[in-house]
Amino acid sequence: MRPVVHLLPKVKHRVFSGHPWIFSTEIGSVDGAFSPGDIVEVRDPRGRFVCLGYINPESTITVRVLSREDRDIDEAFFKERVRQAVEYRRFLFGLSGSFGDDPGGYRLVYSEGDFLPGLVVDIFAGYVSFQTLTLGIDRWKETLIEAVNEYVSPKGIYERNDAPVRRLEGMSLRTGYLGEPFDPVIEMDENGVTVLVDIQRGQKTGYFLDQSENRLLIRKHLAGKSVLDAFSYSGGFGLSALKGGASGVLFMDASEAALDLARAAAGRNRFSGGASFEMANAFDALRDYERSGRKFGAVLLDPPAFARSRKMVESALAGYKEINLRAMKVVEDGGILCTSSCSQHVTPQEFDDMLEEAAKDAKVSLRVIERRGQRADHPVLSGVPETEYLKFRMFQVLKW
């Protein structure tokens, strides 16, 4: 018998309208013995079946939904879900063969967006970066790896289970090759540019694929411009700008390792002439440029998530406002500002309102060129606002 989770009466349960999370505050009782990570059945206050999911009382999201059908949750279930995720990417990118043969990068599985909460699988030129971020999904790790091997025939797999969120689930951190080792610095094609992905030491899974389309999009608007790529990481945006004919790009990041990757990639693309690199805190550097009157034809801002919880939103917005205000001041009149936020807890509305305030303080008008989010291999589910985390805006900055 499966343990049964009873939902409290008189609570607005989002799970009834398709949401994949059940919070501890929504649960009345649990019948039956269970261990964290076990599959449970969820019933409404009248005792009717709602869904199946996995439980972890250590997490405020106590149950994550796996299926709304009353069925076996077994190896076949998880393999089928991975297969569906692969099918969706084939459809998105028009691929017919194995991802292992493709020189580009894709997110193959993205957690709730693929109905596999807690699982993240990225493909970089045929190599896989693999993460199981919740206890409930980590239990099925072997099966999930088997499915990835079966459906995409990767050249190699690296486990990136060093995300600190695993600790909140009561798990330890671990990394390493799953199978044969390989050179962890992978050369990958992105929109006709060579980028370098350090699958072992790079940030998160190794490379930020969610911005891929946005990197291509900026290209046609930056020809001839001097560009500041602030928070550049391994250089994805700036390299694309150079491909599009930017007169020069200053790559800036607080991490020397990130800049080393950007520098090496600039060399591989023969872009070195137009590229310069500065290890700095972008907040300080922008203030210095403002004081000294240094201007750029375009500024690209792509900071890390400033808000890790809803409680941090206010201070995060203050940080976003500060950095955007400074960027607006160092863009030439008529120049371009591309600005992003990957904080899941900051809504698109809050982000846009913050930008408007910054523009007012900087005494500029922002003419909207693009308003976008993450690429569709990081699926957004309607009715699940938490899946829509990336905000990307491109503006022309016009002085009052």
Provide the binding-site residues for ligand SAH, judged by CB under 6 A: 203, 208, 211, 231-234, 236-237, 253-255, 258, 281-283, 302-304
What is the smallest separation between the CB atom of 397 and ligand SAH, expressed in angstroms?
Answer: 19
What is the smallest separation between the CB atom of 230 and ligand SAH, expressed in angstroms?
Answer: 7
Nearest alpha-carbon partner for 393 in 190, 214, 208: 214
Residue with tokens 């894709």: 106
What is the smallest separation between the CB atom of 274 and ligand SAH, expressed in angstroms?
Answer: 17
Hey, which residues are catalytic here?
Answer: 342
216 versus 381: smaller Cβ distance to ligand SAH:
216
Antiparallel, parallel or unpaired: β 248-253 and 105-110: unpaired
What is the smallest separation between the CB atom of 251 and ligand SAH, expressed in angstroms?
Answer: 9
The full DSSP string for 162-209 is --THHHHTT---EEEESSS---SEEEEEETTEEEEEETTTSSTTSS-G
CB atoms within 10 A of CB 248: 18
143 versus 255: smaller Cβ distance to ligand SAH:
255
- Collapsing DSSP to helix, strand or coil, 131 comes out as strand
Tell me whether residue 296 is exposed, middle or buried, using C-beta atoms within 10 angstroms of its C-beta: 0 to 12, 13 to 18, 19 or more.
Answer: buried
138 versus 253: smaller Cβ distance to ligand SAH:
253
79 versus 345: smaller Cβ distance to ligand SAH:
345
- Collapsing DSSP to helix, strand or coil, 273 comes out as helix
Judge contact between 5 and 66, C-beta under 8 A.
no
Judge contact between 14 and 55, C-beta under 8 A.
no
128 versus 261: smaller Cβ distance to ligand SAH:
261
Q: Which amino acid is at 36?
A: P
What is the smallest separation between the CB atom of 373 and ligand SAH, expressed in angstroms?
Answer: 15
